[in-house]
Amino acid sequence: MKRRRTGLKTVLAAVAALSLLTTACGGGNSASGVPDDGGPMPVSIMSMYFTPEPPGADNVVVQEIEKRTNTDLNITWVSPNSYGDKVNVTLASGDIPDLMLVNDPFSAQVRTMVQQGAFWDLTPYLDDYPNLKKFPEESWINTKQADGKNYGIPRVRPVEGGPFLFLRKDWLDNLKLEVPKTTDELYEVFRAFTKDDPDGNGQDDTIGFTGLVNQDNMGGYGAIVSAFTQTTGDWKEVDGKLVNVNLLPEMREALEWINKAYTEGLISEDLAVLKESQTKDQLNAGRAGAAVNTVEAAWEPTEAQLKTNPDADFLPLVSLNGWNNRDGGFFGMFVIPKTVSEEKMKKLLELMDYGASEEGGTLASYGLEGVHYTEENGIKMATEKAKTDIVASQALGQIFMSYDKYMRAYRSGMPNEIFERNKKIIDERAESSVPDKAIGLYSETGVSAGPELSKDIQDIKTKIILGKQPLSAWDAYVEKLKANPDLQKITEELNEAYKQRQSAS
C-alpha cells in the first residue's frame, strides 16, 4: 500500500478504514503489511545518528539484522542537529514510519496525537516481549502518557551515568589543580584552562568549556545550572510542592556565574548558535577543556587526542556542589502509528524485542565478533573494520539496544582501566543522584502554553549570559513570571498530577 502525504485528520480517518479492511480480510495477508508468503517484512524506521556518517542500506550489520529478523529495513537517519524539526514535520504530515523515534515523548504535538488516537497503545501487549520488559521500571513509568498508558517503546538508557560535566584531567595535572568539587572551584579551573596554557604549546588557543544553549532550555549549561538549583529539570520539590526553578534565587546565581564566565571568555563565545557537532570538533581538536555528556562519551575526545597526546584524559565528574542528576531511563521513545495493522504492530514489537536481547543489542552496537570486535576479559575491542563499516552504539545502537546498568560506562575501543573507572564513577553517582520530580506529569496548560513560555524564559536567560541585558532584568522578569497566569496554571496542574502520582505509589 503506497502512502500519501496527508493531514492528521485524514490519517485518523484512514485508521478507521484500515481497521475495517483488516477485519474483513483477516490477519496474515498482504493488507496487514505482513507478507503472507513468509518473505521479509518491510519496516520503515526513523531515528537519529551520532556517527560521522549514518549506516547505509548496504551496511553489513543492517543486513545481518534483516537476515536474523526476516525484515527489510528502510531506515531514515537524521542528524541530531535537526532531528526535532524533522519529527515535527513528519508528525504533521501524517506520513509516519512504522517505527519512529520521538525525541520528546511529552511535546505538545505528541500528547495531542496520543489523545487523538494516532499511535498504538502498547500497554496490553508488552508482557509478551521479555527483553523489553527487562528495561528499568523507570523507563516505562516515565514514558507513560497522561492516561497512564505506554504509547511507545523507550529508547532505553540507564538511570545513572547521564549527561554531566567531564574535563581534561591531564590539563589539571599540568596546572597542578585538583578535580573541582564546587562551582567556585570549577570556575577557577575554567579560568586556568583558558588563560594558563594548559596544553603547554605556548599559544592562547584554549577555552575552559564548550557547550550550547537551545531555544527553549540551557542545553549543555544545564548541568551547571542544576548544581546551583540542586534539582534535575525545571521543577523542584519545596515543602512537598513543585516550584518552578526559575523562581528560585539559585537560578539568578547560576546566570550570574555563567555570564561572568562568558564575559571573561572562559566558555564558548558563540554558544547561542553553536551546533553539537561543533562542540565535538573543539573537544577532539584539543581546543576545549570541558563539556557535558554521558560518562562513556568522554572517551570519544580522549581517543581523538591520544593520537597526538599520549597523556590526554577526559575525566567525568562524580558531582558538583554535592549534586548530580538521575535520568529517567529513556532518551525518547519509538512510536507505532495506528495506520499499522495490529498484526504488523506485534511483529514490530518482536523486532524491537530482538534488538533488546543480548544477541541483538551486541550485534547492533558492536557488530560481528572477529570482524568488528574482539573480546578479552569481557571487554569488546573494536577493530578498524568497525569504523569503516560504521558499527557503533552511536549508530544502530540508537534503534536496537539491550539494557545494561553500565551501558554508559563503556564505548567500543575503550581500554579496561577507563571502563572500570567509569563503572566506579557511575556507582558513586548513584549514591547522590536526584531524579526529575516532574518527568511525565501532565499539564494541559503546559501543553498549550508551555513551549512558548519556555522559549521566552530561555530568551532572556541567553541575553543575560551574552551581556545584552543586565542581571537586574532577570529580577524584573522573575517578578512578572510569578504573576504569569500560564505559569500559575501549569504549577497548579502539575502539583495536582504530582499529588495523584504520590498517592498511587
- So what's the pLDDT on residue 503? 76
C-alpha cell at 31: 493488507
In 3-state terms, what secondary structure has residue 477? helix
Please tell me the CATH superfamily of domain 164-325+409-435, with its number: Periplasmic binding protein-like II (3.40.190.10)
Buried b / exposed e over 250-284, threshold 16 CB at 10 Å, is bbbebbebbbebbeeebbbeebbebebeebbebbb
Which grid coordinates belong to 130? Answer: 521479555
DSSP state of 180: P
Contact 247, 482 (CB under 8 A): yes
In the prediction, which pLDDT does 3 show?
37
pLDDT tens for 241-253 read 999 999 999 999 9
What is the pLDDT at residue 25? Answer: 42
- C-alpha Rg value of the chain to the nearest Å: 24
pTM assigned to the model = 0.75
Tens digits of per-residue pLDDT, 365-397? 999 999 999 988 777 888 999 989 999 888 999
Residues in contact with 191: Cβ distance below 8 Å, sequence separation at least 6, in sequence order? 208, 264, 266
Query: How many CA atoms lie less than 13 Å away from 289 in the CB half-sphere?
Result: 29
Per the structure block, which three cell numbers stand in for 6?
496527508
The pLDDT assigned to 31 comes to 82
d(CA 77, CA 79): 7
End-to-end, the C-alpha distance of the chain in Å comes to 45
Cα–Cα distance, 407 to 435 (Å, whole number)? 18
Q: Which residues of the chain have pLDDT under 50?
A: 1-28
Alpha helices in 70-208 (DSSP H): 83-93, 108-115, 130-133, 137-141, 169-174, 183-195
Which CATH number fits the domain 8-157+329-398, given the four candidates 1.10.3720.10, 3.40.50.1820, 3.40.190.10, 3.90.1170.20? 3.40.190.10
Residue pair 324/430 in contact by the 8 Å Cβ criterion: no
Residue 426 phi, psi dihedral angles, 5° rounding? -65, -40
Q: What is the pLDDT of residue 504?
A: 62
Report the relative pairing of strands 41-48 and 71-78 from DSSP bridges: parallel
Q: Is 290 helix (H, G, I), strand (E, B) or coil?
A: strand
> Cell for 503?
498517592
Every domain range in the chain assigned CATH 3.40.190.10: 8-157+329-398, 164-325+409-435
